[in-house]
Structure 1
Amino acid sequence: MKNLEMDVCASNIIHPEAVNKAKESLPSDELIFNLADFFKTFGDSTRIKIICALMETELCVCDLANVINTSQSAVSHQLRVLRQSRLVKYRKDGKTVYYSLDDDHIKLLISQGLDHLLHK
């Protein structure tokens, strides 16, 4: 019960300068919606495993399935989601398709998330 009390404003006083500053800094509703969708992509442990594996090297679907111990079909499905969110990219070499992280921002996001969890 004590923690709930911290989340309620006891004095109920509005601080106009702080409120205005916060309102002015908010991104547009469309951008917030897109950002929420972007972060939803990270809400699946299989996708996180794929991203972590790709942080080390590019891999094909067969390799990824072996690394994360799941079916190629499951990996393909998750790669489709990751591609749609522009988190991974691919290149073809003959009949083989290799996947890698789309850019270094993805590695930074995951690394910072892990640091946050490990250094609490």
Structure 2
Amino acid sequence: MLRICPSFHLNIICLQLCYNEEHNNLWLVEQLVQKLTQETCDETCNGTQVDFQVVKENLIDESAASEMADLFKTLGDPTRVKIIHALSQSELCVHDLTQVLDMGQSAISHQLRFLRNLRIVKRRKVGKTVFYSLDDDHVEQIFVQTLQHLKHD
């Protein structure tokens, strides 16, 4: 069990170790990790010199924040990331994507439908064949910049 000792001005954390008979070892409860890694300002922090009201007034609105979160959730799936990466290199049909990703056609089609609904990919039909590509340059820029960020030291 975790408890904060109010009698110490340095806010020393007092711990009670719990005995786990099943594993026959001592373990700390999850709250300990959360408390120790919690980010807070120092007690002497008076904030920055920035006019936070200006920041607040320029803050992204709820609708845009929700749309952006949906985009990042979409990018949170490894299969969709691979599809986007493949399409950033070339326009491909579903069959091509099944070969590149070693996946079934229904799984690829499902992901492409999801990506198309969020305007990340677009399709072009030639006869009975449907070709997919990234919807616009913005999608490619987001993807490329994310990759560059991950490779940045």
In terms of Rg, which structure is larger? 2
Task: List, as ranges, runs of 4+ consecutive aligned residues in structure 1 with deviation greater than 6 Å.
Answer: none
1:9 aligns with 2:49: no
Structure with the greater relative contact order (CA < 8 A, sep ≥ 6): 1 or 2?
A: 1
Task: Please list, as runs of the form range in 1=range in 2, the aligned pairs for 1:46-57 lying within 5 A after superposition.
Answer: 46-57=79-90
**Greater strand proportion:** 2
The residue aligned with 1:39 is 72
CA distance in 2, matches of 1:34, 1:46: 20
The residue aligned with 1:92 is 125
Task: Please list, as runs of the form range in 1=range in 2, the aligned pairs for 1:79-118 lying within 5 A after superposition.
Answer: 79-118=112-151
Give 5+ residue unaligned stretches, structure 1.
none
Please give the secondary structure, in 2, of the residue aligned with 1:83: helix
TM-score by length of 2: 0.71
Identity of aligned residues (%): 47
Please give the secondary structure, in 2, of the residue aligned with 1:43: coil
Q: How many residues align?
A: 118
Structure 2 residue identity aligned to 1:102:
D
The residue aligned with 1:60 is 93
Structure 1 residue identity aligned to 2:41:
C
1:74 aligns with 2:102: no
**Greater helix proportion:** 1
CA distance in 2, matches of 1:23, 1:82: 32
How far residue 21 of structure 1 moved from its aligned partner, in angstroms, is 2.4
CA distance in 1, matches of 2:140, 2:48: 38
Give 5+ residue unaligned stretches, structure 2.
1-32
The residue aligned with 1:27 is 60
Instruction: Tell me: CA distance 1:14–1:119, structure 2 relative to 1, closer, same or farther (3 Å).
Output: closer
How far residue 39 of structure 1 moved from its aligned partner, in angstroms, is 1.4
- After superposition, the C-alpha distances for 1:36-57 in whole angstroms (9 at most, x for unaligned) are 1121110100001001100111
The alignment's C-alpha RMSD in Å is: 1.8
How far residue 12 of structure 1 moved from its aligned partner, in angstroms, is 4.9
CA distance in 2, matches of 1:104, 1:23: 30
- After superposition, the C-alpha distances for 1:71-98 in whole angstroms (9 at most, x for unaligned) are 1111001001100110000011001000
